[in-house]
Amino acid sequence: MLNELTVSGRKLELGSISYMEEDAFISLVLDAQGKVSYANPGYYALTGYDRDDVLDAPLFQPGEEHYTSSLLAGLKVSRLTGEKWQGEVFLRKKNNEPLWLDVTLLPRCDERGDVFAFILVCFDITHHVTIRERLHYRAHNDALTRTLNRQGYYIRSRKKFRAAQASGAETVVAILDLDNFKTINDELGHAAGDEVLRHFISRVKQCISNTTLLGRLGGDEFALTFIDGTDEHDAGLLLQRIIEQTRLPMYLQTIGHQVALSVSIGVATWPRHGTNFASVLKAADTALYKVKALGGDDFINYQIVSTADSHSIVGSV
């Protein structure tokens, strides 16, 4: 059994930690600078590294701080307080496979009370984290169109709105609804309807940036939140492009011929049309009803025209 180590010139007693060499645990000892002084056989077996790769080297390489920020924070807190820390840490195996560890960090102090070593006792939780991430993805994404679902879109949009409110950046929301989609579904079948939705979303994604939030609210209704500094004018240009791309003939393999499609879009902007995400989304929905009433295949911006008629809108294409 491993009883003691010399770390940073000081003896580290390990006799009370009887599980350091048990294969069920991944155990490491770091010096005060975060370099590895000891790793148990379980660590080498799990990660594929050998002693020359690990000993006297940092546990993680420069540039990986965004993966290991939780452990870096834990080391800092334990160094200052002398208290243990527990959390989940992401590392990579030697073959670059992901590795998630549940880590308990135990600081060790010298006679002056200064932390000179850290004992890390870890469990491999990669499988559990993978399952958790899959469940989270399914809970927040739409399987058919591979966009955010209503819940995922709402959650992420609210977060972006809070950030926009802090910075004062204008934020545009648009609701998109396909015209006569019910007719396509009823006459051509649900398989054809699903193919229409996939094609439509593919065209939408070609028109927007990767930072724009895109979610399916339900049925053939989708929503966009522009969070990359896109103002109302720039958003209008992008939405016009979506309208034009939607008008192009769409070939459906399920029925073997083309269909014609168009989309109606309602638009609203923070802070002009609402104080938060919910009120701006409601304003965009009101604008959508207006463009639908005018025949569709277009977009309309929500605008308050007077304090006496705070829910009135006018078109501005």
Residue 6: is it exposed, middle or buried by C-beta count within 10 angstroms (0-12/13-18/19+)?
Answer: exposed
Task: Encode burial over 129-167: b for 16+ CB neighbours within 10 A, e otherwise.
Answer: beeeeeeeeeebbbeebebbbeebbbebbeebbeebeee
Q: Which of 142, 220, 285, 298 is catalytic?
A: 220
Q: Order of strands, edge to edge, in the sheet holding 115-124? A: 36-39, 26-31, 115-124, 98-109, 85-92
Is position 124 annotated as part of the catalytic site?
Answer: no
Closest by CA to 37, choosing from 124, 121, 118, is 118
Asked if 292 and 274 count as a contact pair (C-beta separation under 8 A), the reply is no
- What would you report as the CA-atom Rg of the chain, rounded to the nearest whole angstrom? 28
Cis omega (within 30 of 0) for bond into 271: yes
Which residues are tagged catalytic?
220
